[in-house]
Amino acid sequence: LGLTITVGEILVEIMATTVGAGFLSPQSFVGPFPSGAPAIFIDQVARFGGAAGIVAAVGADDFGTINVERLRADGVDVSAIATIQGRPTGSAFVRYRPDGARDFVFNITHSAAGEARMTEAARALVAKSGHVHVMGSAFAIPGIAAALVEAVATVKARGGSVSFDPNIRKELAQADEGRKLVDDVLAVTDLLLPSGDELLVAADAATEEAAVERLLDLGIGEIALKRGSAGSSHFSRQFGRVDCPAFSVEEVDPTGAGDCFGAAYLTSRRAGLAPARALLYANAAGARTVTRQGPMEGVSSREELDEFIAAAGREVG
């Protein structure tokens, strides 16, 4: 199984301990926890047993160290994580609304995260990789977008593959420049990992069926659609539609579910598992993530997922 890489933001997350309170008065927080959607994703690839690396940047501070050491310990190649002097590691304060929605105060754009570039170390990592995972969130950070575009072009030119988790904000996709970035990535995407509305936004279609048809016509090999507590579905010309119900768990913290789902799905498919089996692993990874507080704390090894699936009495033939 070749090396899977991603390019994007590494940050720490500091979370409110009570639901409902805003940021307008002093209150309690827990953290820092290692975070950043690309970091969570690549950590889950490594924990699942895939070769993994990330192009990113952190500051010369403890927030950077906590991330780099976690990724290294979990088996991620950290050789292309640059340390930027004079910029702090990115951070996000998070608070939870009673309806489950989250509000963030981000310090990313002006943090070290925004300084991720195609350095010599990054090019060396990209040259070894057979798959690049693109996160829509990275496009919102100037600098990272350029590095991502270069990584995609290099990996594709070598016959490698691309997965794309759009995390599209509708406003970004509707702006001409944002739409062009999304369309450029869709044109080279082998595996699309949308959630909810993102499928419709990515395809600019009104229904799920129309969106799937349009995207598969575009040449996208397969789509793994995330449906939160309703599970997930696979769509491809080869296997048609495959549905997988969610595991029944108590949700403590939703952060990271989509990233862990995508990483487990991708790594399963790259290891040659059929879509039904990949969805089962991916749903299990997403479900375990939401039961843990902290964005990267719910990442699972393949053995942990096997135990979780067996304990739930779920198997595929």
User: Shortest distance, CB of residue 79 to ligand ATP, whole angstroms?
Assistant: 27
Coil, strand, or helix at residue 58? Answer: strand
Binding mask 258-277 for ligand ATP (x = CB under 6 A): xx-x----------------
290 lies in the binding site for ligand ATP (CB under 6 A): yes
Binding mask 197-236 for ligand ATP (x = CB under 6 A): -----------------------------xxxx-xx----
245 lies in the binding site for ligand ATP (CB under 6 A): no
The closest of 209, 194, 287 to 245, measured between CA atoms, is 287
Strand order in the sheet with 29-35: 29-35, 11-16, 90-96, 102-107
User: Shortest distance, CB of residue 282 to ligand ATP, whole angstroms?
Assistant: 6
Please give the distance of CA 233 from its chain centroid, rounded to a whole number.
17
- Select from 103, 177, 243, 251 the one that contacts ligand ATP (CB under 6 A): 251
Q: Which is nearer to ligand ATP, 53 or 256 (by Cβ)?
A: 256
247 lies in the binding site for ligand ATP (CB under 6 A): yes
User: Shortest distance, CB of residue 312 to ligand ATP, whole angstroms?
Assistant: 11
What tokens appear for 111 in the block?
């943090």
Residues in a beta bridge with 106: 92
8 lies in the binding site for ligand ATP (CB under 6 A): no
- Name residues whose C-beta falls within 8 Å of residue 28's C-beta, 6 or more positions apart in sequence: 16, 17, 18
249 lies in the binding site for ligand ATP (CB under 6 A): yes
38 lies in the binding site for ligand ATP (CB under 6 A): no
CA dihedral angle for residue 155, residue 157, residue 162, residue 165, rounded to 10 degrees: 90
- Name residues whose C-beta falls within 8 Å of residue 303's C-beta, 6 or more positions apart in sequence: none
The closest of 256, 266, 220 to 49, measured between CA atoms, is 266
Site of interaction with ligand ATP (CB under 6 A): 195, 226-229, 231-232, 246-247, 249, 251, 254-259, 261, 283, 286-287, 290
